[in-house]
Amino acid sequence: MTIFSGQAVFTAGAAEIDRIPQYFLPEVAFIGKSNVGKSSLINAVCNHHNLAKVSKTPGRTQQINFFTVANKIILADLPGYGFADVPDYKHQEWEKLILYYLKNRYNLKLINVLIDARRNIKSHDLEILSLLSSYNRHFQIVFTKIDKISDKTELLNSSKNLLASLGYSCNLITTSSRSREGAKELQFSLERIRS
Ligand SMILES: Nc1nc2c(ncn2[C@@H]2O[C@H](COP(=O)(O)OP(=O)(O)OP(=O)(O)O)[C@@H](O)[C@H]2O)c(=O)[nH]1
Ligand SMILES: [Mg+2]
């Protein structure tokens, strides 16, 4: 049985480095552009409607939110990057928080880099991958909103080629929080970090 049939609860939110809680359970993070669907996907994976807040307005999640699933694993919903409507100092605060977290988080086992299936992989996403590699972090690409595109094969082929040409060999998953496509596969990949 999957741990995701267990109870998922919000455990903490941190907008500043010294507010990041210490946990000893294995943790997985969700990172990606604002509005890519991070919070929706966390809800889909946890079989929950409103565990993580979903919004039509980009930049809604302004802190790292931590959720505990079945007392076995922590999911971290990171603030989204790359949108125009926030002042520069906010960008800098978030960047500092995220970079600190990604570099130092001792129980962080896997980072899900979320990419909107309609946009494909963009330079900002590649910067994140490069950063994660430089921190020796384990990551996988999770395409979101796959219900919005018709040709998944083309998306996967072009992405695999691009990643291979840059020397990355990471897992790729296609998901939709709306249709729940890929939800089980994502659950399995998250559970694997415990073994
Ligand atoms: N069609 C479709 N829409 C989705 C999907 N996932 C999320 N959305 C929509 O995309 C918007 C943003 O979703 P969120 O889950 O709040 O995105 P986020 O990445 O957490 O956004 P920030 O917290 O602002 O960074 C909402 O309007 C969702 O309903 C999906 O799989 N399919
Ligand atoms: Mg969010």
pLDDT tens per residue across span 91-106: 777 788 999 999 999 9
Distance separating alpha carbons of residues 44 and 99, to the nearest angstrom: 26
Fold annotation for 3-194? Rossmann fold (3.40.50)
Q: What crossing angle do the helices spanning 183-191 and 38-45 adopt, rounded to 10°?
A: 80
Helix, strand or coil, per DSSP, at residue 32 = strand
Pick the atom of ligand 1 nearest to 56's CA.
27
Which pair of tokens denotes residue 62?
A: 């302004």
Pick the atom of ligand 1 nearest to 30's CA.
19
Segment 145-171 shows an average pLDDT of: 95
Residue ID of nearest Cα to ligand 1 atom 9: 37
**Would you say 72 and 194 are in contact if contact means Cβ atoms under 8 Å apart?**
yes
Distance separating alpha carbons of residues 148 and 118, to the nearest angstrom: 7
- Ligand 1 mutation pick, 34, 41, 54, 146, max ligand atoms within 8 A of CB: 54
Ligand 1, pocket residues at CB < 6 Å: 32, 34-40, 54-56, 58-61, 80, 144-145, 147-148, 176-178
Q: What percent of the chain has pLDDT over 70?
A: 92
Domain boundaries, the chain: 3-194
pLDDT tens per residue across span 50-73: 898 887 766 555 799 999 999 999
